[in-house]
Amino acid sequence: MKNDAHDIRHQPAYGLSEAARYVGLPAPTLRTWVAGRTDRDRFQPLIRPASREPLQLSFYNLVEAHVLRSLRTAHEVSMPDLRKALAYSEKELGIQRLLLRPELRTTAGEVFLDRYGKLINLTRSGQLAMREMLKRYLQRVEWDRWSFPVRLYPFLATGEQATMPIAIDPKIAFGRPILMRVGVSTAAIADRIDAGESVDGVADDYDLSPDEVQQAVLYARAA
């Protein structure tokens, strides 16, 4: 993958705890993925953070963590097995940083999941569940015409996932979560509600529905 140092999607933008909140992961889990472990179960990280000192993640790292979360949700992630599966698929297909690529929807994804399923001895039903979970997560990533991620639609705190009103776009609001339709940060909306303004009043100011305001507040407070 092309690594353009001037591309804001590559640049450090999120602290570990902040990034973990945005993608719905426990901070210790994300730390393991980006920093590895040095205790008795020593292993290398799965994600290369944009900055190690201090530890900060880029927008691309958020997308990688989002995709890895799908495998953790469908099956308890094994770091060594995931690394083996990624190395195998990248070697076979020549795709660097596969977790960032839309090819996960096609042949590359099949190779990766087949390899991972064999490594962890998944049943056929388990493999089907894992593929469906990955598909759901990939549907929440938007790619540009060069096949690089440009926008992430995180899962909502309400559990309602049919719509994707909240987005993380590195070019808007410094990469913080926004209500995509109006480009307003979820934190700004939550702050106004915390200051005592009514849901209906905030909705009128931003031309939002009360439901959109509530979704923004719930996501901001969960994150």
Q: In this structure, are residues 177 and 187 in contact, taking their beta carbons and an 8 Å threshold? A: yes
d(CA 142, CA 140): 7
* DSSP characters over 9-53: TTS--EEHHHHHHHHT--HHHHHHHHH-B-STT-B--SS--SEET
Question: pLDDT band at residue 132, thresholds of 50, 70 and 90?
Answer: confident
pTM of the model: 0.86
Nearest to 208 by CA among 177, 223, 191, 186: 186
pLDDT at 65 over 80: yes
Q: Length of the chain in residues, anyone?
A: 223
- Output phi, psi for 80, to 5 deg: -60, -40
Closest residue by Cα to residue 64 from 87, 91, 33? 33
Report the distance separating Cα 27 and Cα 169, nearest Å. Answer: 21
In angstroms, the CA 123 to CA 105 distance is 21
Confidence band, pLDDT 50/70/90 cuts, at residue 203: very high
Token pair listed for 14:
């999120």
Q: Which of 56-70, 78-92, 125-139, 158-172 has the highest mean pLDDT?
A: 56-70
Domain-wise residue ranges, the chain: 153-223
Asked if the peptide bond before residue 54 counts as cis, ω within 30 degrees of 0, the response is yes
Architecture of domain 153-223: Orthogonal Bundle (1.10)
pLDDT of residue 47: 92
The CA-atom distances, in angstroms, between 112 and each of 92, 109, 175 are: 10, 5, 29
pLDDT at position 44 is 78
In this structure, the number of other CB atoms found within 10 A of the CB of residue 47 comes to 23
Mean pLDDT over 93-116 rounds to: 84
- Interval 54-69 mean pLDDT: 95
Q: Tell me what the pLDDT averaged over the chain comes to.
A: 87
State the DSSP code for 37. B
